[in-house]
Structure 1
């Protein structure tokens, strides 16, 4: 799942994930609210293994998304790991995210083959 308000970033990252055959089904959402609604209303088997989340979005930013996600039942949180995928190079943002148990990685946009491989390796360990 890609959650980003920037359609160009979604397009680029989606193509990289598709090229690397990262997921059988790739969901994209341009707002945190619609992504949270999907996660909260979908069957467990339909949930993504990874959520690539942008931090800087209007209305519900990545930090608010993480807060709302933390309220979900454990079965949802165990099914979906979060990777922060952002253009933010703010050290404070990184520190805030680092303490979140649902986040497995903090990456700068855009994705590339090496970053996708790194996430794959991390998921094998989880």
Structure 2
């Protein structure tokens, strides 16, 4: 729990520093709002790819564990189990790449900048 509170305090400090940096005389409220918005989009993209990578790693670990247990119980099925495991690993990795693709879309396309009616 302490780890999360420390991360939250650090996030608030960064947000305060960003707002203080944009609070100069030349900055407008629109520029501050856009900076905070794009900062939030960047944080959201990072969380999305982090969750996708974590889920993919857990899935791959579970798949490998299952195949090794199956091979230990019946060594004659090793070839078929490995083939199935590699197909499953490719599918799991595809889902992680989809998460990366969504994060890249969030960051670089600008579809959520308020101009498209969202």
TM-score, with structure 1 as normaliser = 0.24
Q: Which has the higher strand share?
A: 1
Bigger radius of gyration among the two: 2
Q: Which has the higher helix share?
A: 2
